[in-house]
Amino acid sequence: MDKSKPCVELEMALGQFQAKCPTMRKDTKGHNYTYATLPQIVEKVTPLLMEQGLVFMQHIESDNAGNVGVRSVLTHESGEHVESSIYVDLETCAKGGTIKNPIQALGSITTYLRRYAMSSMLGIVADKDDDGADSGRFESPVTLANSFQIAGIDKALQDIAGRDTGKLESMTAAMKKQYNVSHWRDLSESKAQQVFDKLLEKAKG
């Protein structure tokens, strides 16, 4: 993360923003999970940022290697700023998901990156209310494996198997059987991370 030095006023303003920023409700339904949409988050945080003299901007970027990314910039009225970029391989991520149209895949990936980067930089907490019939507690819904994790698992399996297609098929089938899924997209986000970590260890060993 790049930033101007020092960032005392910006950090104080960000702290004030975080103290007033509400928990984001995950009201939008995806495939067996819920999430807070980017427009929902922007609508709620923008006036709170402005109260503290803060402006948050994001820019879609790409490079000659086929990577697409988002650069996020948080600026304070004092002139202090911080910025951070996140990049992913567009082709790999698109292959790992269910969206076949490349333009739709680009839109889906960049929206995900913008939402992820905004929540990370601003310290936004998102959760889902348990429908509030009695206690009003918050629960964490099960989030399924995302396209980045799926692409990572497939790539790790290919790296381990090399050109041996038989080995690739048997390893894939064995791991899917172990986790009782027919497709990687049926894994929870945490289970997908476990699979990926195991494959990384196997590749190193």
Report domain extents, the chain: 2-136, 147-204
Residue 141: what pLDDT? 39
What phi and psi, each to the nearest 5 degrees, are found at residue 84?
Answer: -150, 145
Q: How would you class 176 by CB atoms within 10 Å of its CB: exposed for 0-12, middle for 13-18, buried for 19 or more?
A: middle
| Of the candidates 45, 66, 180, 60, the residue with the CA atom closest to the CA atom of residue 123 | 45
Task: Identify whether the C-beta of residue 129 lies closer than 8 Å to the C-beta of residue 138.
Answer: yes
pLDDT averaged per 10 residues in sequence order, the chain, 205 residues: 77 91 69 66 93 95 82 94 84 58 74 86 67 32 65 85 89 88 80 83 72
pLDDT by residue (tens digit) across 34-53? Answer: 557 888 889 999 999 999 99
Residue 75: what pLDDT? 95
